């Protein structure tokens, strides 16, 4: 098999930076540099980086279209399947796993909700603080650390959803605590839903489904 390689030339006759007049190159600061003052290696670097990034943008656009087409195909299949049972519903909701007839390929569609909290979360925090203060002093320190960690905000001032929801999994049957957990539940809102679609191929030896990577960094 003959290897295919791309050869870049270091000789660039005309400026290839956007917006520069003939005979000049525009640098990162917007300054114009005469062509004769630009080193050949800088021209070569510019050509390689520009060409590859343009190809990357085209590949990214193609992947975006592929994802949209794939989601539409899956939604159409789900709708068709549901119609066999007299159910009229859009097929673009919910998680679904589809496997080829021979079991060689599998795809998984997931709809991931982004949860945010309303003003009721402030009431929940107050109720939880009251619980911590009322319980035995031996448990106060541990619970206070747990609660403060759950309601700690990141650099953008956002609360970690997983940590707050983790409080609801604690088996505490105190009435005030349960009221606080209800306040958390009432404060939860779905801000948006992001669709994911992943593809897998079965390893004939192990029977394991291995992901088909669409991430250039992981290939």
If the chain, 219 residues long, is cut into consecutive pieces of 10 residues, what is the mean pLDDT of each piece? 47 61 90 92 93 93 93 90 77 83 94 79 80 64 67 70 80 81 84 86 94 80
Predicted TM-score (pTM) of the model is 0.62
Q: What are phi and psi of 8, to 5 degrees?
A: -105, 140
pLDDT for 170: 78
**Cross-strand bridge partners of residue 210:** 201
Burial of 140: CB neighbours in 10 Å, binned 0-12, 13-18, 19+: middle
Return the half-sphere exposure (C-beta side, CA atoms, 13 A cut-off) of residue 203.
Answer: 7
Contact (Cβ atoms closer than 8 angstroms) between residue 192 and residue 150: no
Neighbours of 106 (CB within 10 A): 17
d(CA 55, CA 32): 26
pLDDT for 11: 46
Contact (Cβ atoms closer than 8 angstroms) between residue 91 and residue 79: yes
For the chain, which residues make up each domain, given as ranges?
Answer: 1-93, 94-219
């Amino acid at each position: 098999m003959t290897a295919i390689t791309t050869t870049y030339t270091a000789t660039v006759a005309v400026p290839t930076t956007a917006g520069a007049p003939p005979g000049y190159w525009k640098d990162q600061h917007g300054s114009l540099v005469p062509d004769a003052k630009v080193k050949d290696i800088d021209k070569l670097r510019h050509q390689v980086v520009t060409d590859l990034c343009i190809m990357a943008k085209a590949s990214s656009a193609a992947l975006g279209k592929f994802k949209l087409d794939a989601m539409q195909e899956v939604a159409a299949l789900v709708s068709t399947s549901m119609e066999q049972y007299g159910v009229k519903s859009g097929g673009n909701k919910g998680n679904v796993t589809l496997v080829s007839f021979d079991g060689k390929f599998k795809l998984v569609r997931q709809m991931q909700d982004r949860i945010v909290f309303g003003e009721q979360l402030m009431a929940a925090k107050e109720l939880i603080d009251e619980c911590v203060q009322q319980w035995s002093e031996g448990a106060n320190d541990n619970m206070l650390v747990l609660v403060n960690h759950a309601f700690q905000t990141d650099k953008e001032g956002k609360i970690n959803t997983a940590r707050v929801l983790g409080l609801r999994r604690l088996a505490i049957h105190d009435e005030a605590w349960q009221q606080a957990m209800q306040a958390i539940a009432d404060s939860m809102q779905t801000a948006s839903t992001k669709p994911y679609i992943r593809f897998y191929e079965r390893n004939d030896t192990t029977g394991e489904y291995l992901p088909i990577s669409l991430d250039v960094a992981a290939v």
